[in-house]
């Protein structure tokens, strides 16, 4: 066909993915009542994992999206066990070529940013499963990601070997829920389960009443096994620690020792600013490591509550952090961990989101594994109001790949120094936070 001679026959673009809520229409009836409205698939978010989760939990989610009018809140809390919310996701990388290509990174490993999206999606499904009362006459809760505890990569994740994620609720408070997720991949026959764990993460969700938006109580949790009881106690301790930190609102004053640390950090930065020709060539100013990315948040990135999917924010922050570490080190970075993340402000569809990153500091004590600590700050910017608010601050730790490092004899990561007191304080606060973990 000559396309240029057919102006009245446009090329039709169709989705290459099927909605979990829409089956093929009946023959001769394109408006079959069996088809559910596409609005019940928020954002049409095409991750293979979120797609599978929606298909498995469609009845729960359908009620969340279309609750009964004037439905009362849940009147009686249930007691559930961790096993009732436990959910497993399998990635058949060894046999599914298309799935493998969707997750492959340039180094034949799994894309960590994409995996972070899946972790958040799975944690959200598990929280819904725990909070469901199986009663369609009550109004559902709004469940949102409040924070993410440290995410640790324990070993590389190959894209050629089958992968499994197992998650379950391990602790609940009055209106908060902690979900633990473990990503496992077996590289040897007969290896034990603990050795197979490649990545671990804990997500904290909070419940809100869908009508009043106030904190709402959630179903209780009754751990059964010794391991479940241990996880519950550890999560309880973390919750108490978070409350103590929130209760201490006054900024810690720098004592004499802290003031000395501050001045030591600033000393080299002042040489860069005042006498750049005499500055240490193995150091670099923090401001010279900065990168930035901006985007408009689109409807395709929203969650079931109409706000931007937390996993999408994690993914974008990770990609910027990775790029920052790459540009700084001059070698391919290797991800190690994400520190605790608080989702302090929701991000809405249409928001102008600015992600700003920098290398906050480096740790060079171990020459075989130098550490690059990246800070990414997400700002919701409203040009029409001339306002900008921080929605999230992410802290990532990278090193460089050993095989890449071996190609450069005498390679050394540069030291990062602050030029201002505000930068020096951020570095010290981050170092102290790491030391307390």
Q: Of the candidates 185, 215, 50, 27, which has an alpha carbon nearest to the alpha carbon of residue 124?
A: 50
User: How would DSSP label each residue in 207-269?
Assistant: EEETTT-SB----EE---SHHHHHHHHHHHHHHHHHHHHHH--SPPPP-HHHHHHHHHHHHHH
Q: Is the pLDDT of residue 343 over 90?
A: no
Please write the tens of the pLDDT for every residue from 176-188: 999 999 999 987 7
State the pLDDT confidence band at 246, using cuts at 50, 70 and 90: low
Residue spans per domain, the chain = 38-68+76-244, 256-435
Q: Helix 310-329 vs helix 112-131: angle between axes, to the nearest 10 degrees?
A: 160
State the pLDDT confidence band at 158, using cuts at 50, 70 and 90: very high
Q: How far lies 73's CA from each of 137, 139, 143, 177, 216, in Å?
A: 9, 5, 14, 18, 9
Q: How far lies 16's CA from each of 19, 183, 220, 350, in Å?
A: 10, 28, 41, 25
Q: Is there a contact between 185 and 158 (Cβ–Cβ < 8 Å)?
A: yes
Task: Give the pair of three-digit tokens for residue 359.
Answer: 């290398």
User: For the ranges 117-121, 224-228, 250-254, 314-318, which has the lowest average pLDDT?
Assistant: 250-254
Q: Residue 47: what are its φ and ψ, rounded to 5°?
A: -70, 135
State the pLDDT confidence band at 63, using cuts at 50, 70 and 90: low
Burial-class residue 34 by CB neighbours within 10 Å (0-12, 13-18, 19+): exposed
Please write the tens of the pLDDT for every residue from 51-62: 666 555 555 555
Q: Of the candidates 66, 80, 90, 309, which has an alpha carbon nearest to the alpha carbon of residue 177?
A: 80
Cβ neighbours for 205, distance < 8 A, ≥ 6 positions apart: 123, 124, 127, 143, 144, 145, 146, 176, 177, 179
- Ranges 32-36, 43-47, 168-172, 385-389, most confident: 168-172
Q: What's the CA gap between 103 and 99, in Å, rounded?
A: 7
Q: Is there a contact between 131 and 62 (Cβ–Cβ < 8 Å)?
A: no
Q: What's the CA gap between 311 and 306, in Å, rounded?
A: 14
Please write the tens of the pLDDT for every residue from 373-411: 999 999 999 888 888 899 999 999 999 987 766 666 667
Record the pTM. 0.81
Please write the tens of the pLDDT for every residue from 222-245: 999 999 999 999 999 888 877 766
CATH architecture assignment, domain 256-435: Roll (3.10)
Residues 245-260 have a mean pLDDT of: 54
Burial-class residue 392 by CB neighbours within 10 Å (0-12, 13-18, 19+): buried
| Helix, strand, coil percentages for the chain (3-state, nearest 5) | 35, 30, 40
Q: Is-same-fold flag (38-68+76-244; 256-435)?
A: yes
For the structural domain made of 38-68+76-244, what CATH number should be given?
3.10.129.10
């Amino acid at each position: 066909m000559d396309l240029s001679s057919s102006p009245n026959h446009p090329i039709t673009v169709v989705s290459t993915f099927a909605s979990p809520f829409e089956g093929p229409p009946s023959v001769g009836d394109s408006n079959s009542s069996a088809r559910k409205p596409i609005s019940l698939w928020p954002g049409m978010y095409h991750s293979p994992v979120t797609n599978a989760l929606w298909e498995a939990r469609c009845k729960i989610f359908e009620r969340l999206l279309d609750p009964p009018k004037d439905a009362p809140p849940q009147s009686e809390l249930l007691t559930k066990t961790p096993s009732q919310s436990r959910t497993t996701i399998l990635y058949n990388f060894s046999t599914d070529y298309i799935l493998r290509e969707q997750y492959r990174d340039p180094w034949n490993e799994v894309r960590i940013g994409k995996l972070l999206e899946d972790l958040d999606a799975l944690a959200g499904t598990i929280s819904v499963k725990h909070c469901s009362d199986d009663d369609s006459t009550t109004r559902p809760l709004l469940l949102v990601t409040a924070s993410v505890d440290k995410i640790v990569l324990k070993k590389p994740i190959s894209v050629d070997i089958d992968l499994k994620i197992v998650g379950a609720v391990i602790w609940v408070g009055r209106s908060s829920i902690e979900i633990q997720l473990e990503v496992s991949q077996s590289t040897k026959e007969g290896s034990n389960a603990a050795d197979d764990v490649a990545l671990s993460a804990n997500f904290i969700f909070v419940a809100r009443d869908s009508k009043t938006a106030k904190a709402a109580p959630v179903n209780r949790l009754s751990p059964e096994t010794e391991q479940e009881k241990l996880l519950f106690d550890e999560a309880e301790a973390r919750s108490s620690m978070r409350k103590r930190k929130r209760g201490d609102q006054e900024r810690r004053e720098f004592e004499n020792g802290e003031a000395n640390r501050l001045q030591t950090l600033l000393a080299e930065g002042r040489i860069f600013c005042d006498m750049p020709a005499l500055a240490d060539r193995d150091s670099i100013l923090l401001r010279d490591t900065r990168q930035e990315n901006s985007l408009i948040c689109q409807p395709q990135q929203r969650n079931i509550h109409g706000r931007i999917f937390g996993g999408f924010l994690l993914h974008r922050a990770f990609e910027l952090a990775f790029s920052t570490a790459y540009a700084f080190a001059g070698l391919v970075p290797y991800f190690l961990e994400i520190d605790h993340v608080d989702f302090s402000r929701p991000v809405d569809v249409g928001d102008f989101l600015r992600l700003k990153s920098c290398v906050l500091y480096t740790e060079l004590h171990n020459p075989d594994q130098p550490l690059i600590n990246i800070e990414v700050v997400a700002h919701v910017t409203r040009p029409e109001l001339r306002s900008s608010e921080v929605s999230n601050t992410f802290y990532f730790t990278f090193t460089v790949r050993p095989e890449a490092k071996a190609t450069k004899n005498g390679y050394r990561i540069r030291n990062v120094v602050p030029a201002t007191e505000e930068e020096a304080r951020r570095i010290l606060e981050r170092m102290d936070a790491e030391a307390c973990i």
